[in-house]
Chains A and B, each alone.
Chain A
Amino acid sequence: MKRSITRLLMAPSVILLLVWMVVPLSMTIYFSSINYNLLYPGRNNFVGWMNFEFFVTDPGFWIAISNTLTLLLSVLIITVVLGVALSALIDKPFAGRNVVRVLLISPFFIMPTVNALIWKNMMMNPVYGIFAWISNSLGLEPIDWLSNYPLVSVIIMVSWQWLPFAILVFVTALQSQDTEQKEAAQMDGATGWHIFRYLTIPHLARPIAVVVMIETIFLLAVFAEIYVSTGGGPGYDSTNLAYLIYNQALLQYDVGVASAGGLFAVLLANIVAFFLIRAVGKNLTV
């Protein structure tokens, strides 16, 4: 009796999520095997692996893969290294610590489109931007960030958004660090560096792993920042996998090829998810 009520209560979310997962994914798989362009409806013959071939031989494919991985690794390194350093810095009390914390985490709550536009216009514009003004004041030639270093520009924007997340997680994790252990180490004459290296870093190992995995899921799918700031260009210079697929689907209307690309993205994310779920699952007590 109890059993059936429990099932009934769980049914809505389980069924909805199952539909949400299975229906679109099987459609993606189906589309990836047929010739399907929104501009030429009705000619949906089976084409086997041709869409995959098309996607992989697209001139942008390898650039997009390399950009996706460069973006991912750069942002991960920046956010984790700076995140650990900054959260260790603000772990000790000082005047106005709470305000500092609020300031540090705020960029995470700025919507991606606004983020991209603030940086594109007000910071990185080669004529009127703050960076150009700083360069000029120092007697240097201003840099046209978005044209000359498009991928670096996107990396800056995305890191600015995700560094606060890393800080937030690490600060939360540091609060649960054993203070007695630290004090004992201090009594024994350990320096600040030693405490950081041998107590703080090991304590943060798990949170770091979690941050890396969560960020990976989101960073593989960076879209809005590129869409608003560089439009993937110049050329393919700042196109990542997500943007390339969008380009195929909604700009070139090629559903078949876009679906094949989508499956690549799913595959990439699944490899990461596998490790994440194992890590979280270990700590889950029911």
Chain B
Amino acid sequence: MTLTQQRKLKTILVGIASWTIALLLFFPIFWMFITSFKTELQAISVPPQLFFEPTLENFTIVQERSDYLKHAWNSVVTSFGATILALIIAIPSAYAMAFFPGKRTKDILLWMLSTKMLPAVGVLVPIYILSRDYGLLDTQLGLVIIFTLMNLPIIVWMLFSYFKDLPKEILEAARMDGASPWGEMTKVVLPLSVGGIASTGLLSIVLCWNEAFWSLNLTASEAAPLTAMIASYSSPEGLFWAKLSAASTLACAPIVVFGWFCQKQLVQGLTFGAVK
């Protein structure tokens, strides 16, 4: 075998190995997806059925049985609400730290990061009691507040790194033209970093959408987002795999697609810029 042939063979082998592993790891998701089009009987048939006549009835039953749309709406409101609120709070801070850094800026950034390290379970009791006392248990507003604070450090951190990469000359030019700091931010910085802000927001939406700890502990029937609603399918009475799969597919599909688009931001955001 010549060297090129050897190389080709190696590439083919690497391809086969990678595809096999990828398909194996993806299999549970694939299986959930196709199970959502089965009848309950087909879903638990032994041996498992790969080919069958697909049905859409699970999706309608899920809506009737557990009011899917209400919970989906809760997910939308809480993740988008918390993301927008966090962006509004974070943009001015990130702007100030990126363009007017002081002696303490680095310490403040690291301190913000450290708040993210506080385990949720350590403050479960007080947050639960505060929510109860202020009537925020099982409300969308309660979750929005928690999600906003939960993601604020990541959002400030990511925006800070975007703003810092903007060319300084443009800002100086604007300053020479007599722009105020406020004008600088709204007329120069924000338009230039629309992309960065959008992908930060996307990451925040993904994190809120999949958040399970607070959703499970602070909501019941009214404000439960999809993460908590799906958990109600864990009841041992009866097997509802097809319906569970239908509900899960609907709940996960948009976020998996979002995730594909924000891979890079995810790495940057979750590692706080340590890996780029």
**Interface residues, chain A, with chain B CB atoms under 8 Å away:** 2-3, 5-7, 9-10, 12-14, 16-17, 20-21, 23-25, 27-28, 31, 86, 89-90, 92-97, 99-114, 116-123, 127-128, 130, 132-133, 136-137, 160, 163-165, 168-169, 172-173, 176, 206-207, 210-211, 214, 217, 220-221, 223-224, 227-229, 241-242, 245-246, 249-250, 255, 258-259, 261-263, 265-266, 268-270, 272-273, 276-277, 279-281, 283-284, 286
Q: Which of B156, B217, B259 is the most central at the interface, judged by chain A CB atoms within 10 Å of its CB?
A: B259
The interface residues of chain A lying within 8 Å CB-to-CB of B241 are 121-122, 128
Question: Which B residues lie within 8 Å of A217 (CB)?
Answer: 116-117, 119
**Are A245 and B124 in touch, CB under 8 angstroms?**
yes
B176 beta carbon closer than 8 Å to chain A: no
Chain A residue at minimum C-beta to C-beta distance from B124 = A249
In contact, B121 and A262 (Cβ under 8 angstroms): yes
Residues of B within 8 A of A241 (CB): 121
A13's partner among B156, B181, B213 (CB-CB below 8 A) is B156
Nearest 5 CB-CB pairings of A with B = A224-B212, A273-B117, A27-B126, A109-B259, A94-B15
* Beta-carbon nearest neighbor of A209 in chain B: B274
B interface residues, how many (CB within 8 angstroms): 98
Q: Are A223 and B121 in contact, with the CB atoms below 8 A?
A: yes
State whether the Cβ of B62 lies closer than 8 Å to any Cβ in chain A: no
**B112 near A114 (CB under 8 angstroms)?**
no
Q: How far is the CB of B136 from chain A (nearest CB, A)?
A: 13
Residue of B nearest to A120 (CB): B234
The answer to whether A118 touches B28, judged by C-beta atoms less than 8 angstroms apart, is yes
Residue B209 interfacial (CB < 8 Å)? yes
Tell me, yes or no, whether B256 is within 8 Å of chain A by CB: yes
- Residues in A with CB closer than 8 Å to B213 are 221, 223-224
**Does B276 make an interface contact (CB < 8 A)?**
yes
Complexed CA–CA distance, A205 and B164 (Å): 26
Question: Are the C-beta atoms of A269 and B122 separated by less than 8 Å?
Answer: yes
Q: Are B256 and A110 in contact (CB under 8 A)?
A: yes
Report yes or no: A168 in contact with B119, Cβ–Cβ below 8 A: no
CA distance A121 to B245 in the complex (A): 10
Q: Which of B148-181 contact A (CB under 8 A)?
A: 149, 152-153, 156, 181
Q: Is the CB of A6 within 8 A of B125?
A: no
B119 touches A265 (CB 8 A): yes
A6 pairs with B18, CB closer than 8 A: no
Query: Of B11, B25, B47, B113, which is in contact with the most chain A CB atoms at under 10 Å from its CB?
Result: B25
- Chain A residue numbers with a CB within 8 Å of B187 are none
Within B225-242, which residues are at the interface with A (CB < 8 Å)? 226-228, 230-231, 233-234, 239, 241
Indicate whether B14 reaches chain A with its CB closer than 8 angstroms.
Answer: yes
Q: Please state if B275 and A13 are interface contacts (CB–CB under 8 Å).
A: no
A89-B17, A172-B264 known; A280-B212 Cβ under 8 A = no
Residues of A within 8 A of B118 (CB): 21, 25, 266, 269
Cβ–Cβ contact A245 & B114, under 8 A: no
The answer on a CB contact under 8 Å between B258 and A13 is no
User: CA separation between A271 and B231, bound complex, in Å?
Assistant: 32
**Residue from A14, A21, A114, A255 in contact with B125 in the complex, judged by beta carbons closer than 8 Å:** A255
Q: For residue B99, which residue of chain A has the nearest CB? A: A6
Residue contacts A-B, CB under 8 angstroms, 21 given: A9-B95, A13-B93, A13-B152, A25-B118, A96-B15, A102-B260, A117-B231, A117-B234, A118-B28, A122-B245, A127-B46, A130-B31, A136-B46, A173-B275, A224-B213, A227-B216, A255-B129, A259-B125, A262-B125, A263-B122, A277-B110
